Amino acid sequence: MKRVVYLVMVIAMLASLGAAALAGCAPKPTPVPATQAPQPTQAPTQAPTQPPKPTDTPVPAQPTPAPAKTVEIEFWYGLGGKLGEVVQDFIKRFNESQTEVHVTGVVMPDYQTTLEKLQAAIAAKKPPAIALISGARVHDLMNAQVLKPLDEMIAAEPDFNPQDIVPAFYKFATWEDGKLYALPLYGTTQVLYYRKDFFEELGISPDMLNTWEDLAEAARKCTKVEGGEVVRWGWEPMWGYPNLMDAVFSRGGKLFSDDGKKVLINDEIWVDTWEQFRKWIHEEKIMRIHYGGEGWAYWYDTIDDVMQGRACGYTGSSGDQGDLDFSIIAGHIQPGWKNPPHPPAPVAQGQYVVFPLYVDDAQTKAALKFYKFFTSTDMTAEWSTRTGYLPVRLSAQQSPKLIEAAKTTMPAIMVPAEQTKYASPLPVDPTGGKITDALTKAADKVEIEGIPAKKALDEAAAEAQAALDEYWASKK
């Protein structure tokens, strides 16, 4: 008896499920539920001709013109602190300046998370219209062919002036098929910041920052040891390979051979330069690095050390200026070397916005409008004065806003711009990040573990060369 009852129940369940599934599938364009009062009783006079949701007032003379349908787009970016505040302010001003496009800013913890989420969203074919990506990873996305080519849309956009964008940045975003796949939002380059007061007190001339050898001498003088413990560090380079690579480039080193087939990261210049840093950090103990932690924690720990007087200076980003107190701190361009003599040649890199595939063209166009607003001469100059980052438009570098700021609030604002005169372009890693990974590991070994540069770079070179060989083999 019981079994029969249960059998009936199970069958009934299945039947109801099936029926429900059918009922659920059939009325795709949101149906009027069966249980509710039928529509016509609501508005008997208009119902037959009107769409289901008529506006309740028939007054036609609304101030907003009828066709102005706002395009909603999302902008993903991984910036916080003051930078984040400026971005939010720019988004707000853009939204208020017009009615065609509404941008919603979505804050991510950092560039890396933005990239990870973007990859997931692209895989699901639901990416945002525009996202901010570190320049170093833009070519990965280009190689994966998940970005929209922009040339035609830019040509169709009035007053875009692509030739006004800093050529080095613009060129970097052109892929091997000759098309443009990303646009620089701002530029960044690493510069030196030092404590004016400590330098004066110890009689160190800022000219000591013109070569790395002299900088080390200054750091030696500035390092303060109390009871066997360093209480003031001479210098704090920033964690990671970019810093070390800048020093290599400033000594005439290169990442690849001229034909692009050989990795040069374990040649004499690389090893000598990296070994020099290892000695300063691990043997002489006149420099130290902060590493690890969440997001940008190591970066802000470094800044904090200099601000609080626990270090005499550091190598940081042009974008740090918003966080620094220029009554005690001054900026300086990166050093060259005495041996062999070479002028500074650090990398100037753009941070790029990308416009992924699977987004409506209308939304991409809206995103381009937002980009145009963000990087218009005035805005990008303002961005630069508020954050310290390099403006991406040539016209902005002569902007009165920038010149005025250099005289008053941001004395170091011209340092990064000055440095771009010497700057090297960011080398493109054709292997989709494998060479930068190898360099990252090698930098950790040298900077954190104190492993000799020769060993670390040999290992990195083997790994990088294998990846590069693979790339060239796949090209054939």
Partner 1 sequence: MATETAVSAVRYKKGLGNVKHTAARALMHLVLIVSSLLVAFPFIWMLTRSLMTAEELKRSRFTLIPSVLQWSNYVEFWHAEPLFPRYFLNSAIMAFGVLILQLIVAMLAAYAFTFVNFPGRNALFFVAISTLMIPVVITYIPSYIILSSMPMWLRVCWSILLGIAGMATIWIVLRFLDTIFSGLAGRERPWVSVLWRVVLVIGVGAVWAVRALPALRAGAEAPVFAQLSTLALAFLVYDLGITVAEQFPPSTWQAVGKALWRWAWLLGILAYIAYRVPHWLGENWLDTYQGLIIPSAVSSFGIFLFRQGFMGLPKELLDAAKIDGADHLRILTQIVMPLSKPLLVTFVIFDLVQYYSSYFWPLLITNSPTMRVLTIGLQIFFIEKGYYGIRWHLIMAANTAAVAPLLILFFLGQRWFVEGVATTGLKG
How far apart are CB 240 and partner 1 at their closest, in Å?
16
106 lies in the binding site for partner 1 (CB under 8 A): yes
Site for partner 1 in 228-267 (CB under 8 A): none
Options 21, 43, 144, 156; binder of partner 1; rule CB under 8 A: 21
297 lies in the binding site for partner 1 (CB under 8 A): yes
Distance CA 392, CA 395 (A): 9
Options 7, 10, 14, 32; binder of partner 1; rule CB under 8 A: 32
Q: Which residue number, 108 or 208, has a Cβ lying nearer to partner 1?
A: 108
- String marking each residue 74-103 x if it binds partner 1 according to CB under 8 A: x-x---xxx-x-------------------
The answer to whether 169 touches 350, Cβ cutoff 8 Å, is yes
Site for partner 1 in 36-75 (CB under 8 A): 36-37, 39, 42, 52, 74
Q: Which residue number, 112 or 161, has a Cβ lying nearer to partner 1?
A: 112
Residue 428 in tokens: 């493109």
- Could you tell me which residues come within 8 angstroms of residue 334 by beta carbon, excluding any fewer than 6 positions away? 190, 191, 192, 246, 247, 250, 315, 344, 346, 419
Options 3, 33, 177, 327; binder of partner 1; rule CB under 8 A: 33
4 lies in the binding site for partner 1 (CB under 8 A): no
The answer to whether 307 touches 325, Cβ cutoff 8 Å, is yes
Smallest Cα–Cα separation from 312: which of 246, 216, 229, 387? 216
Smallest Cα–Cα separation from 345: which of 463, 238, 448, 212? 212
Smallest Cα–Cα separation from 136: which of 436, 439, 416, 444? 436
Distance CA 413, CA 383 (A): 11
Options 291, 296, 326, 422; binder of partner 1; rule CB under 8 A: 296
**How many residues bind to partner 1 according to rule CB under 8 A?**
55
> What is the longest distance spanned by two Cα atoms in the chain?
102
Residue length of the chain: 476
Options 117, 332, 369, 401; binder of partner 1; rule CB under 8 A: 117
Options 7, 14, 19, 144; binder of partner 1; rule CB under 8 A: 19
Instruction: Using the rule CB under 8 A, give the single segment among 259-267, 301-309, 346-354, 436-444 that binds partner 1.
Output: 301-309
Distance CA 386, CA 323 (A): 10
Distance CA 37, CA 369 (A): 46
Instruction: List phi, psi (to 5°) of 363.
Output: -70, -40
Distances in Å between the alpha carbon of 85 and those of 78, 97, 403? 12, 18, 23
Instruction: Using the rule CB under 8 A, give the single segment among 124-132, 188-196, 366-374, 430-438 that binds partner 1.
Output: 124-132
Q: Which residue number, 28 or 475, has a Cβ lying nearer to partner 1?
A: 28
Options 71, 86, 107, 403; binder of partner 1; rule CB under 8 A: 107
- Could you tell me which residues come within 8 angstroms of residue 393 by beta carbon, excluding any fewer than 6 positions away? 161, 164, 165, 166, 375, 376, 377, 380
Site for partner 1 in 314-343 (CB under 8 A): 323
How far apart are CB 294 and partner 1 at their closest, in Å?
7
How far apart are CB 85 and partner 1 at their closest, in Å?
8
Distance CA 95, CA 128 (A): 17
Options 291, 300, 326, 422; binder of partner 1; rule CB under 8 A: 300
Which residues of the shown chain bind partner 1 in the complex (CB under 8 A)?
A: 5, 9, 12-13, 16-17, 19-21, 23-25, 28, 30-37, 39, 42, 52, 74, 76, 80-82, 84, 104, 106-107, 109-110, 113, 116-117, 120-121, 123-126, 293-297, 299-301, 304, 308, 323
